[in-house]
Structure 1
Amino acid sequence: MTKKNNDYKPAPVDTTNVKLPEELTALAEAIAKNVHDVWAQNRMNEGWTYGPVRNDKKRETPCLVPYEQLPEEEKAYDRNTALATLKFIVAQGFEIKKKS
């Protein structure tokens, strides 16, 4: 059995000064939708189904709906993940460009 480390202190890369161009901010919404779809597909593959309230024992969750039907707070979680990832990529010196 692995011992849990209670001394864990997350240290994400500081991206507070990273300003994303508008086109990357728009891309974040598409990434957020895809993040949700990947999550939902993984949950379904694990036997989870839709349920009106989350029930881990029954493997039910109200979030197994299309992204557009999620409550705004759930969309915000996925958007924040997408934005943080894009900011991390930029902070690491990479550029993201759309092919013409």
Structure 2
Amino acid sequence: MKTYTPDPIDTSHIKLPAETLDLLEQLAANNHDVWARQRIQDGWTYGPKRDDDKKENPCLVSYSDLPESEKEYDRNTAIEVLKAIVALGYRIEK
């Protein structure tokens, strides 16, 4: 098996403007909805704790009902996407 070495775009120098905070939260909520939709399509349902055998997950709730730690995961994904867009030379404008 070939060794995989992740090589993401370097975004360490990118500072996102404060105006992107609303966009960031919208993208984080969308990330959660995309994930949840796929889980539900795969037969998963809400459960009080994650149970892979029963296909239950406590995060199958609306984004607003997620614990802050789970929201942070979605926010971090969105932040890295926005930073990658800027690092590649694109601008984010409303």
Pair in the same fold by TM > 0.5? yes
1:26-71 CA-partner distances (Å, limit 9, x unpaired): 3111100011011111111111000001011111000000101111
Structure 1 stretches lacking a partner, 5+ long: none
Q: What's the TM-score once normalised by structure 1's chain length?
A: 0.89
TM-score by length of 2: 0.94
Give the structure 2 partner of residue 66 of structure 1.
62
- Runs of at least 4 residues off by over 3 Å: none
Higher Rg: 1
Could you say what the CA RMSD is over the residues aligned between the two structures, in angstroms?
1.0
Identity value in percent:
56
For 2:77, the equivalent position in structure 1 comes to 81
Count of aligned pairs between the two proteins:
94
1:9, distance to aligned residue in structure 2 (A): 1.3
Q: Partner of 1:25: helix, strand, or coil?
A: helix
Counterpart for residue 86 of structure 2: 90
Structure 2 runs not aligned, ≥5 long: none
